[in-house]
Structure formats: C-alpha cells, structure tokens
C-alpha cells in the first residue's frame, strides 16, 4: 500500500477501500467459499470490481447487474468489442457520441465504457485521448478486435450501380485502396458503421451502401456485396475499457500514464530515460496538444508492468517529479491478441 500511496492519492484511497472491505480478496477467492450476494452488492455500488480476475477464477457473477456503454448502435464494432470483453449478459447501452459514453461513466449512469483508441492501419483515435483527460476517467481494461469491413447494400444491389458509400471516417480510411479503385462510389462520412448500415436499410435505395461488419449486415437485413474490403488483412482496433475509478488488479501488466513536461531541452528524453534505466519496457507513446496551453503537449505513455513492482514505482515517481502534470490512467491486464 505504501507504494501506491507514494504515487497517487486516489490509488492510496482505493487500496484502503480494498483492504477495509475485504470483499474481493484474491486469496479468499482461491481458497474459501465466496459470498456471491456480497460480491454483487459491491458491484452495484461500483466499488471494487475485479471481473477479469473473477472470470479467471471461474466465479459466476451476475453480469446483468453491470452496464457498459458504447458509441453507435447495435452492430457497431464498439458493441462487438464490448461483448468480447464483458460477454453477452452485461447491459449494453448505445450512445450517439464518444462524449456521451464518457459523460455517462463520469456521472455514474453506467459502470463502464468501451471506446476505440487506436487502429493498426490508421493510428490514433485522437478524440478519445482528449476525452480521457477532460473527464478524468480511468482505464481498467483493453480489448483488441479484428476489423473486417464489408461493402453492405440492399439485397439485389450491384457494385457497378453504387453511387455512395456511408461509413465512419475510420471505416472509410481503412478501406482506402478499395475506394480508390472504385472512383464512381463517393464516400460519405457518417457517425458510425452500424448507423450507416441502418441508414441504407431505411433508404431502401439500391445505389447507396455502407462499409461495416458482417454482424451489421445481419441486423440491418443487408447483403454483403463485397467482403473484406479493408486495406490490411491484419486490420484491428484496440478499445479501452473506461471506468470512474481505478481497479487495481494483481495480474495487471500494462500501465497507462499521462504527463506534460516543461519546455526544456531534453525534457522528454530524460523522462523516457527513467523507464530505460529501470528496465521498464515502453509500449506506446503519443502526444496530444494541451488545449488551453498552446504548443504544450500531454504525453500518453504505456509501459509494461504492475504498480506493485518496485522498479515501476521508482521509474514513475522519477517521471512524476519532472512533470508539470502527471496522472496514472490505469493499470490493467493486456489483451493477449497484442503483438502476436
Ligand atoms: O463505427 C463503428 O462501428 C465503431 O465502432 C467506431 C470505429 C472507430 O471509431 O474506429 C471502431 C472500429 C473501427 O476502427 C471503425 C470504427
């Protein structure tokens, strides 16, 4: 506990809660009979939720007591990611925007949000990073999803007759080669791939199509006019599972941090050096502008490790000391699909 205490007040508070409640005690889960009612009560109160750990220990929890939000409508890739992470039983709630998901989590209307954060072909989904800062939410998990885009149209539509294709900007970008070889089809950016599919069904127009998933085709009664039109066969998107509070996990092996540094020669170099010196593997780094401070940046850095490891604590303590702003976004279990 002392280690967490050194890093962040909130972590400290969380650990005190974990210890004082003594509900989800890893040892207890292993060796003793579990009081399910008590655990579910904790889940409802949105306190110590360690579903990942519990799932691994084959403890059956009533997931239907939990809610998670995603952007779009049924058939969106985000909904698929949500189901892959939590399973079918959780109450999935659809929101029009990413911001809607973030606000609902922040206001305690839903327990979790599942939002895309990066794509293997097109890179960062920048809005999500900005929203993480703006709403002060935590990352408690991640989910990779292979993205296979298909050209969806009304049954009987012919590729040669298509005038427009609707999709999320990511869907359009990820299918750039297909679109460049079909110049007669005008891409139209829409808020979501599943919403695009629903629009095609609603118009009843055989000249209009959508880029979306096989699942969306089934839900919105569309035919797959051309399958796998994404540029890369390995196309995949990484989603973050966000929550209001940290969820410390013994098996967490990925740590997401955000910090800003003074404008000094070598500031970033020296910050990253701390990870190298303490043998901490850097997994990812991106920068985003600090909106009210022109030409200053937030660095979002992911490293491998658990906050209980002394070398991690030392490294991030040292980075924190050099930073003008510093926060632990979350320490969670890496999804195994990564870097396969
Ligand atoms: O439009 C969807 O279906 C989404 O879930 C959004 C989204 C994204 O924002 O990247 C998710 C995964 C794919 O990369 C394409 C679109």
Q: How far is the CA of 237 from the centre of ligand 1 (A)?
A: 8
The answer, yes or no, to whether any atom of ligand 1 lies below 6 A from the CB of 143, is: no
The answer, yes or no, to whether any atom of ligand 1 lies below 6 A from the CB of 114, is: no
Residue nearest to atom 16 of ligand 1 (CA): 170
Task: Give the pLDDT score at 61.
Answer: 73
The answer, yes or no, to whether any atom of ligand 1 lies below 6 A from the CB of 125, is: yes
Structurally, at CATH architecture level, domain 248-333 sits in 2-Layer Sandwich (3.30)
Q: How far is the CA of 117 from the centre of ligand 1 (A)?
A: 9
The whole-angstrom separation of Cα 5 and Cα 295 is 32
Q: Are strands 91-95 and 186-189 parallel, antiparallel or unpaired?
A: unpaired
CA 338 to chain centre: 14
Question: From the alpha carbon of 235, which atom of ligand 1 is closest?
Answer: 14
3-state helix, strand, coil in the chain (%, to 5): 35, 25, 35
Q: Which two tokens stand for residue 288?
A: 């985003």
With residue 331 as reference, give the H or E element that holds it. strand 325-332
Task: Give the pLDDT score at 60.
Answer: 61
The whole-angstrom separation of Cα 79 and Cα 335 is 17
User: Which residue in 95, 102, 237, 259 is the catalytic one?
Assistant: 237
Residue 237: active-site member: yes
The whole-angstrom separation of Cα 236 and Cα 230 is 10
The answer, yes or no, to whether any atom of ligand 1 lies below 6 A from the CB of 175, is: no
Per-residue pLDDT of 105-139, as tens digits, reads: 999 999 999 999 999 999 999 999 999 999 999 99
Give the right CATH number for 150-234 from 3.40.190.10, 3.10.450.50, 3.40.640.10, 3.55.50.30: 3.40.190.10
Contact in structure between 24 and 14 (CB atoms under 8 Å) = no
> What is the pLDDT tens value at each position of the chain, 340 positions in all?
333 334 444 333 333 333 233 223 333 333 322 233 332 333 323 333 344 444 444 456 788 899 999 999 999 999 999 999 999 999 999 999 999 999 999 999 999 999 999 999 999 999 999 999 999 999 999 999 999 999 999 999 999 999 999 999 999 999 999 999 999 999 999 999 999 999 999 999 999 999 999 999 999 999 999 999 999 999 999 999 999 999 999 999 999 999 999 999 999 999 999 999 999 999 999 999 999 999 999 999 999 999 999 999 999 999 999 999 999 999 999 987 555 4
| DSSP calls for 73-116 | STT-HHHHHHHHHH-SSSEEEEESSHHHHHHHHHTTSSSEEEEE
Q: Which of 53, 8, 62 has the alpha carbon at shortest distance from 29?
A: 53
Task: Give the pLDDT score at 195.
Answer: 98
The whole-angstrom separation of Cα 125 and Cα 333 is 21
The CA dihedral of 126, 244, 239, 187, to the nearest 10 degrees, is -50
Contact in structure between 217 and 177 (CB atoms under 8 Å) = no
Q: Which of 99, 101, 56, 96 has the alpha carbon at shortest distance from 82?
A: 101
Residue nearest to atom 3 of ligand 1 (CA): 76
The answer, yes or no, to whether any atom of ligand 1 lies below 6 A from the CB of 194, is: yes
Q: How far is the CA of 147 from the centre of ligand 1 (A)?
A: 9
Contact in structure between 172 and 211 (CB atoms under 8 Å) = yes
The answer, yes or no, to whether any atom of ligand 1 lies below 6 A from the CB of 116, is: yes
User: Which residue in 86, 95, 178, 239 is the catalytic one?
Assistant: 239
- The residue extents of the domains of the chain are 2-56, 150-234, 248-333
């Amino acid at each position: 506990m002392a280690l967490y205490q050194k890093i962040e007040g909130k972590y400290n508070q969380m650990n005190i809660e974990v210890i004082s409640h003594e509900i989800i005690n890893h040892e207890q889960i292993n060796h003793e009979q579990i009081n399910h009612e008590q655990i579910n009560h904790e889940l409802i109160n949105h306190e110590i939720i360690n579903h990942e750990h519990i799932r691994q220990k084959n403890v059956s929890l009533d997931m239907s007591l939990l809610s998670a939000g995603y952007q779009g409508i049924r058939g969106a890739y985000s909904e698929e990611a949500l189901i892959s992470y939590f399973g079918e039983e959780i109450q999935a709630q659809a929101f029009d925007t990413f911001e809607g998901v973030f606000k609902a989590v922040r206001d305690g209307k839903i327990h979790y949000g599942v939002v895309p954060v990066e794509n293997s072909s097109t890179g960062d989904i920048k809005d999500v990073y900005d929203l993480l800062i703006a709403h002060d939410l935590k990352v408690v998990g991640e989910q990779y999803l292979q993205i296979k885009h298909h050209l969806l149209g009304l049954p009987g539509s012919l590729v040669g007759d298509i005038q427009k294709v609707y999709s999320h900007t990511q869907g359009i970008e990820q299918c750039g080669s297909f679109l460049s070889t079909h110049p007669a089809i005008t891409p139209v950016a829409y808020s979501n791939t599943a919403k695009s599919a629903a629009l095609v069904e609603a118009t009843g127009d055989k000249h209009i199509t959508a880029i979306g998933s096989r699942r969306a085709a089934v839900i919105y009664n569309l035919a797959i006019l051309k399958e796998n039109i994404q540029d890369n066969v390995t196309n995949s998107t990484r989603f973050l599972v966000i929550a209001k509070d940290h969820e410390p996990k013994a098996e967490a092996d990925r740590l997401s941090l955000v910090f800003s540094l003074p404008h000094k020669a070598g500031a970033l170099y020296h910050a990253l050096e701390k990870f190298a010196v303490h043998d901490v593997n850097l997994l990812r780094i991106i920068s985003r502008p600090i909106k009210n401070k022109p030409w200053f940046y937030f660095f979002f850095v992911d490293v491998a490790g658990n906050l209980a490891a002394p070398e991690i604590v030392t490294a991030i303590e040292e980075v924190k000391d050099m930073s003008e702003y510093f926060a632990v976004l979350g320490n969670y279990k890496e999804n195994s699909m990564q870097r396969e």
